[in-house]
Chains A and B, each alone.
Chain A
Amino acid sequence: MGGQGAGPIQREEHDFAIWEKRVDALMVLCGEKGLFTVDGLRRALEDMGEDTFEKHSYYERWIAAINQNLIEGGVYTLEELGNRMEEIAKRGKTYGEAQNG
């Protein structure tokens, strides 16, 4: 990343949505509980490649990387994740309806 050409810095900022704060919290807790380390997070992020970096937001990339590490670590299976995500889709059309928080 360092040294590559790039355009002007966009200075707009946004308040974090609750789902983004939860992703951040899950990463900190996974580290504290010894499930995987920030190096594991970074490896998964690096593996995504430039295309993913451009297309997805910061915490979208983070939850994908967290999920990859947890599946690799055997915390749950890909099937369990898929089933749960399908079930969550049926709870409602918005994050507010589906969040279980």
Chain B
Amino acid sequence: MPHDHPDHFHHHGISSSGHPYRADNDEPLTYWQRMEIAVRELLIEGGHVTAAEVAQQINTMDSRSPANGAVVVARAWADPEFRARLLQDASAASREMGFDIGPLKLIAVENTAKVHNVIVCTLCSCYPRNLLGLPPDWYKSREYRSRTVSEPRAVLREFGVELPDSVTVRVHDSTADMRYIVLPLRPNGTEGMSQTALAELVTRDSMIGTGLVQAP
């Protein structure tokens, strides 16, 4: 998981977003950590889940990252027929590439010279997690969730994305069963690049819509 401020990992207290920083295993046991241990043990003892299933699920989520979405995007750029299938049914197109999308309905929204898409979940934190992994902290924040629908251009400017007025901004509000992924605009000057090289250009934020893919 990318992070810009590793010094915060061992920082105590509450961030200005209201979220505590990470507590490591050697820090005092919290009430909520005790609850996690208790719930997990009671589920295992009740025969509802096994410890191995919990460990396997953690491994599965750890293995999902924006790199998965990036290869899907790169193929869509390079392969017009795949791009059409992706825009038609992103769940099926992603499964075709070997990614486990589960029962989710995944919808790819395409950026063009005239339309820029950005995704949000105003209710909670719905995110194309099967393709991109767990969402960044800011995606789950009150600030991002509320402001992206009320003033998307201001939010995009905070992320360094300046769009001319001629570009329409479309905001897509995710639900538990319906998740969006942005198919970013392929940058000029990338003609003839391999899919592998293209995939390396594709950032997580470009697939959320809070970033643009830059030419190398």
Select one of B24, B41, B43, B140 contacting A17, CB under 8 A.
B24
The answer to whether residues A11 and B143 also contact, given A21-B58, A42-B176, A85-B34 and a CB cut-off of 8 A, is no
A24 touching B43, Cβ below 8 Å: no
* Residue in A9, A38, A56, A99 whose beta carbon sits within 8 Å of that of B158 in the complex: A9
Query: Per a CB cutoff under 8 Å, which of A2, A13, A17, A76 touches B136?
Result: A13
Contact of A14 among B48, B120, B137 (CB under 8 A): B137
Q: What's the tally of chain A residues with a CB closer than 8 Å to chain B?
A: 66
Q: How many residues of B contact A (CB 8 A)?
A: 70
A14 touches B8 (CB 8 A): yes
Query: A33 and B26 in contact (CB under 8 A), knowing A9-B138, A9-B144, A63-B36?
Result: no
Q: A1-B122, A10-B143 given as contacts; is B22 within 8 A of A17 (CB)?
A: yes
Of B11-19, B91-99, B110-118, B188-196, the segment with at least 4 beta carbons within 8 Å of chain A is B11-19
Question: Is the beta-carbon distance between A9 and B1 smaller than 8 angstroms?
Answer: no
| Residues of B that sit less than 8 Å from A by CB | 1-5, 8-9, 15-43, 46, 48-49, 51, 53-54, 57-58, 61-62, 120, 122-125, 134, 136-138, 140-147, 149-150, 155, 158-159, 173, 176
**Known pairs A60-B32, A75-B43 / 13 extra A-B pairs, C-beta < 8 Å:** A9-B144, A10-B141, A14-B137, A17-B23, A17-B24, A21-B58, A28-B61, A30-B43, A60-B30, A89-B34, A94-B25, A95-B27, A95-B30
